[in-house]
């Protein structure tokens, strides 16, 4: 029996997320069309690990198997001297120590996090970057303080249009030296569920996950939850940095300015059934009734339906849904599959959310 990925949203608008579509950026991003991975991709895969899909059995992902993407280096940051400035278009600039942040009202919530580049390795034309299959996921329990009251205390001026979050990690991408920076829209940044987190699964956030402080924007892809926070700047005009204006955009053609990658599209994955072949990861199991299970999520609202197919998507059956782990976490599903006939099967699963968005099965669907 063979298990296949269930379909991913990257490439939904035609060009892979993380690639602008412009010719000059194609040269810098380097687009691969071969199924063979490049030396650069192998290096990035060694540095950035995904979640083992058998980890879908855990309601809360253990820290050690939660996916990690590090754009540049992991800096050493002394928590004793750490300070986070909130400045720019504000009436009362703030400078908060880590203890100042921890002294504020705390919230804890499980959040399903997914990298915007998930499924990149499955595209027919892919930017040379971390070669994710379907493993760039994790659902951790984050503890921190809501960002909204901090911004309210700083006092946004009338001309404020965006909040810019800068990380301590610095490097070169598309031939531009910069700190990793992202700016969710103002209306998103002040939502009550957006937090400055300092704990992951009840422990101080590990360095690779953003110590000592990181942003958590629950409904968006992971690129927005800036790690290793260095500063928060309130700005009066749109930010045009590399990670905002060039990377992480959906484009239909070379000349299309594109749409920014924002909320997570519905996505369901399964725990690989049976046992794997060491090299190919092809699954093997005895012909019998099998309970197939997994998790599903969406950034556009609750998952309302998950469907299972054992024939590569030609026919679908409804699965049984369990209770969500949390409002911004994933939802379990299960299905009793009658695998009574020996043979080879292609298993698929797809999710639909309450907004009517459905997960495609083909990674190149636009």
Distance CA 202, CA 251 (A): 39
Task: Let me know if residue 365 belongs to a domain.
Answer: no
Query: One digit per residue, pLDDT tens: the chain, 366 residues?
Result: 333 333 333 333 333 344 344 434 444 457 777 778 888 888 888 999 999 999 999 999 999 999 999 999 999 999 999 999 999 999 999 999 999 999 999 999 999 999 988 888 887 777 788 888 899 999 999 999 999 999 999 999 999 999 999 999 999 988 888 889 988 888 899 999 999 999 999 999 999 999 999 999 999 999 999 999 999 999 988 877 777 777 777 766 666 677 878 899 999 999 999 999 999 889 999 989 999 999 999 999 999 999 999 999 999 999 999 999 999 999 999 999 998 889 999 999 999 999 999 998 765 443
Task: Let me know if residue 298 belongs to a domain.
Answer: no
Task: Let me know if residue 295 belongs to a domain.
Answer: no
Task: Let me know if residue 282 belongs to a domain.
Answer: no
Task: Let me know if residue 269 belongs to a domain.
Answer: no
Task: Let me know if residue 335 belongs to a domain.
Answer: no
The tally of domains found in the chain comes to 1
SS (H, E, C) the chain: CEECCCCCCCCCCCCCCCCCCCHHHHHHHCEECCCCCCHHHHHHHHHCCCCCHHHHHCCCCCHHHCCCCCCCCCCCCCCCCCEEEEEECECCCEEEEHHHHHCCCCEEEEEEEECCCCCHHHCCCEECCCCCCCCCEEEEEEEEEEHHHHHHHHCECCCCCEEEEEEEEEEEECCEEEEEEECCEHHHHCCCCCEEEEEECCEECCHHHCCCCEEECCCECHHHCCCCEEEEEEECCCCCCHHHHHCCEECCCCCCCCEECCECCCEEEECCCCEECCCCCCEECCCEEEEEEEEEECCCCCEEEEEEECECCCCCEECEECCCCCCECCEEEEEEEEECCCCCCEEEEEEEECCCCECCCCCCCC
Distance CA 97, CA 114 (A): 29
81-114: b (≥16 Cβ within 10 Å) or e = ebebebebbbeeebebebeebbeeeeeebbbbbb
Residue 181 DSSP SS3: strand
Task: Let me know if residue 121 belongs to a domain.
Answer: yes
Task: Give 109's Cβ-side CA count (13 Å radius).
Answer: 24
The pair of structure tokens assigned to 273 is 């059934």
Task: Let me know if residue 58 belongs to a domain.
Answer: yes
CA gyration radius, the chain? 21
CATH code of the domain covering residue 59? 3.90.420.10
Range of the domain at 171: 18-251
pTM listed for this prediction: 0.88
Q: Which helix (H) or strand (E) holds 150?
A: helix 147-154
CA angle 341/343/348 to nearest 5° reads 95
């Amino acid at each position: 029996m063979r298990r296949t990925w269930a379909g991913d949203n990257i490439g939904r608008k035609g060009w892979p997320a993380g690639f602008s579509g412009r010719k000059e950026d194609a040269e810098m991003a380097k687009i691969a069309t071969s199924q063979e991975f490049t030396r650069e991709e192998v290096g990035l895969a060694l540095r950035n690990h995904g979640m083992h899909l058998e980890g879908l059995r855990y309601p809360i992902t253990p820290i050690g198997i939660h996916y990690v993407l590090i754009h540049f280096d992991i800096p050493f940051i002394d928590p004793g001297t750490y300070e986070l400035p909130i400045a720019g278009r504000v009436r009362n600039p703030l400078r908060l120590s880590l203890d100042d942040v921890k002294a504020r009202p705390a919230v804890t919530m499980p959040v399903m996090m997914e990298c915007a580049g998930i499924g990149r390795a499955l595209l027919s034309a892919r930017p040379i970057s971390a070669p994710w299959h379907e493993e760039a996921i994790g659902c951790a329990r984050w503890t921190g303080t809501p960002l909204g009251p901090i911004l309210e205390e700083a006092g946004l001026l009338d001309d404020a249009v965006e909040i810019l979050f800068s990380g301590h990690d610095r490097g070169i991408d598309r031939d531009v030296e910069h700190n990793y920076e992202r700016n969710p829209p103002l209306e998103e940044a002040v939502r009550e569920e957006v937090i400055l987190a300092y704990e992951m699964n009840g422990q101080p956030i590990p360095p690779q996950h953003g110590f000592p402080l990181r942003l958590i924007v629950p409904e968006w892809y992971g690129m927005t939850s800036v790690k290793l926070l260095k500063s928060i700047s309130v700005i009066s005009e749109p930010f045009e940095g590399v990670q905002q204006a060039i990377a992480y955009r959906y484009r239909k053609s070379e000349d299309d300015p594109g749409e920014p990658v924002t909320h997570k599209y519905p996505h369901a994955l399964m725990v690989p059934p049976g046992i794997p072949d060491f090299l190919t990861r092809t699954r093997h199991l005895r012909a019998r009734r099998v309970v197939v299970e997994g998790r599903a999520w969406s950034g556009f609202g609750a998952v309302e339906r998950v469907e299972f197919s054992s024939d590569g998507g030609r026919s679908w059956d409804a699965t049984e849904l369990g209770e969500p782990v949390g409002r911004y976490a994933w939802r379990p599903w299960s299905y009793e599959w009658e695998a009574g006939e020996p043979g080879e099967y292609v298993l698929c699963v797809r999710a639909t959310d309450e907004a009517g968005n459905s997960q495609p099965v083909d990674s190149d669907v636009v």
